Structure 1
């Protein structure tokens, strides 16, 4: 049976998942919102582990937006040269720093975050979730894109924005802030691409994939 054929109260069904991961810090090892914003930009098409590795030296040299705003691309590149697309990302970061100038000017709403170079909806959702401000969307990273259709909540799509839109239509706004990151952790730890650990999954009772095993 396909879960699309029946009405499921997803809010209630996903409660155990939210309970398991609620408030769990993002895998990027940041100390403040400035660091998180920079690391989120750097992590596009790269791994959180790689960004965590290069970050200490980067933030020692550039501890805040103020120090970045008086720097330049050439000075920034040696600190991020092991990151994918480092040249483009360096120019985005310097442009953001020169425009915002101080850490306290980092916006914490969707409209102003996505107006910044290198920050799309996924990144903005991550920043807003970690800053603990009301959600305006749902994080849709690679794990969410894979896990949400597998469970049976939405149709499959490789487009993060489409996945987010579908999830926003199905799920109540009060869980938007936590559910994306919860799916992401589920995908990292339990709902792996191959050999998922279905027997210990907190939502196996409403999962399409598990039901069809």
Structure 2
């Protein structure tokens, strides 16, 4: 059997993790689309846990885009200073707020989201998945970049855009909306970088990683 199989085969093999993680909320502790967008931007090259820690104070001061649009860097700085690359991210947030003006103008389509500063394809796919917008791509975060090749779905790649492209070429569109986050959750909980919990894995019988460990 080939290591890389057609989309119908992999769709069936990945169904157990899609079923397990379908509709499970992203680890970012957001309450609405505005908070999700801000937290996704801040979380780039940072941890979800760190963003969850700084979020309450940030949103108490800036509860929506209308208020955020009045922010200056000096006022926003103390609230995001513990975030990686906070200088750039703070500037992005202020620019987005001044562009969109109100929460009701936040888009949920891929082209409109990636047109905003600080939002790439991965971030846009996360926002769309959480808002249940029709999928136009597949989430390819650090966990997906690591786990998808380990499972055997795609060949190894170093960047998220390449991983996303290969997954989109391999998997049917009807599972795009959930499969990225399902693989991400699998990587967070079970398919760890070291000492993965293979006996607990829902797709252990179809995963190619054990073949490399024999």
**Alpha-carbon offset, residue 210 of structure 1:** 2.1
Matched, 1:133 2:133: yes
Aligned equivalent of 2:181: 181
Aligned equivalent of 1:98: 98
Aligned equivalent of 1:33: 33
Matched, 1:44 2:51: no
Aligned equivalent of 1:147: 147
Alignment partners' CA distance in 2, 1:201 and 1:211: 15
1:71-121 C-alpha deviation (Å, 9 max, x unpaired): 121111110000011010000000000000000100100001000000000
1:150-193 C-alpha deviation (Å, 9 max, x unpaired): 00010101110000000000000000000000000000000000
**Alpha-carbon offset, residue 195 of structure 1:** 0.4
Aligned equivalent of 2:77: 77
Alignment partners' CA distance in 1, 2:152 and 2:159: 17
**Alpha-carbon offset, residue 2 of structure 1:** 5.7
Alignment partners' CA distance in 1, 2:210 and 2:133: 34
CA RMSD of aligned residues (A): 1.1
Aligned equivalent of 1:24: 24
Alignment partners' CA distance in 1, 2:202 and 2:70: 48
Q: Secondary structure, in 3 states, of the residue corresponding to 1:206?
A: coil
Alignment partners' CA distance in 1, 2:210 and 2:16: 16
Alignment partners' CA distance in 2, 1:27 and 1:206: 27
Alignment partners' CA distance in 1, 2:194 and 2:17: 20
After TM superposition, the score normalised by the length of structure 1 is 0.97
Alignment partners' CA distance in 1, 2:212 and 2:204: 11
Aligned equivalent of 1:56: 56
Alignment partners' CA distance in 2, 1:210 and 1:170: 21
**Alpha-carbon offset, residue 212 of structure 1:** 3.8
Whether contact under 8 Å (1:28, 1:52) holds in the other structure is: yes
Moved over 3 A (4+): none
Aligned equivalent of 1:165: 165
Whether contact under 8 Å (1:34, 1:64) holds in the other structure is: yes
After TM superposition, the score normalised by the length of structure 2 is 0.97
Q: Secondary structure, in 3 states, of the residue corresponding to 2:154?
A: coil
Whether contact under 8 Å (1:11, 1:172) holds in the other structure is: yes
Alignment partners' CA distance in 1, 2:71 and 2:208: 51
Alignment partners' CA distance in 1, 2:14 and 2:152: 12
Structure 1: segments with no counterpart, 5+ residues: none
Q: Secondary structure, in 3 states, of the residue corresponding to 1:205?
A: coil
Alignment partners' CA distance in 2, 1:61 and 1:33: 17
Aligned equivalent of 1:190: 190
